[in-house]
Amino acid sequence: MKIPPGLITPVLKVLYRLWCASLRITETGRERIDAMQAAGVSMMFPIWHDEIFGIIAVKRQLRVVTIVSQSQDGEYLARQLQAVDIQTARGSSSRGAISALLQAARMMRGGKYNGCISVDGPRGPRHVLKQGAVVLAFRTPAQIVPLRGFYKCAKVFNSWDRFRLPLPFSRVHIHFDEPYQLTAAELTEEEVERERLEMEQRLKAIRPPEGWPEQD
């Protein structure tokens, strides 16, 4: 029998904060992101699903909304995210996708929130970007900031995304890439695919620090 989300969330919140406090985190590109936040610029951070754990740890003052599955497991995740002040729009590739995208877009307009989207989730294929990220960026419109988290030592799970859990006291490097905007004037099928490939390639072009494990 699963533990009710309301009971397990406080425990996981404390465990997560203790775990993250042990990590040795460095960041690149953070100053530019903080300046954009202060200026009220709306941003969208596309990320890979397997790198979520360490990326959440550097949220700090960023106002963030993300899309979470409507499944029972998604309820656990949504409550945990809300416990660390990350707002959620509920939906998935199979249920409620459009309504979740529209909800997230409304929250992002005018710089109220920044979107952080696992662009190959919730079911993969791994590191293949889905079109929903392009639609969200187009509807906002937001500055797109490809975001990756690299772990020097991590437990890699046997899941569809090969989820990476940085080990306690491991070194973690978070990379905020150069912001850019969509160039498409309208979302034709061809433009969506072109922008999708552009976003995917920008994420894949971000490499880990020298000597660190590859995560592609």
Q: Residue 203 pLDDT > 70, yes or no?
A: yes
Q: Which residues contact 40 (CB under 8 A, 6 or more apart)?
A: 110, 111
CB 32 within 8 A of CB 176: yes
In a domain, 213, yes or no: no
Rounded to 5°, the CA angle 17-19-25 comes to 95
**Closest C-alpha among 49, 67, 70 to residue 103:** 67
Evaluate if pTM is beyond 0.85.
yes
Q: Do the domain assignments include residue 211?
A: no
Amino acid, single-letter form, for residue 172: V
How far is residue 202's CA from residue 128's CA, in Å, rounded to a whole number? 12
Tens-place pLDDT, residues 27-55? 999 999 999 999 999 999 999 999 999 99
What does the alpha-carbon distance between residue 142 and residue 12 come to, in Å, rounded to a whole number? 32
**pLDDT for res 2:** 60
Q: Which of 95, 102, 93 is nearest to 130 (CA)?
A: 93
**Within a domain: residue 175?**
yes
Residues across the chain: 216
Percent with pLDDT over 70 in the chain: 93
Cα 95 to the center of its chain, rounded Å? 19
Q: Position of tokens 């877009």?
A: 105
Q: Which domain holds residue 173?
A: 5-205
Q: How far apart are the first and last CA of the chain?
A: 36
Mean pLDDT of the chain: 89
- Evaluate whether residue 215 is within a structural domain: no
Task: Provide the domain count of the chain.
Answer: 1
210 within domain boundaries: no
66 contacts 121 by C-beta, under 8 angstroms: no
Query: For residue 105, is it within any domain?
Result: yes
Residue 79 resides in a domain: yes
Of 177, 166, 184, the closest CA to residue 204 belongs to 177
Top pLDDT among 2 and 81 is at 81
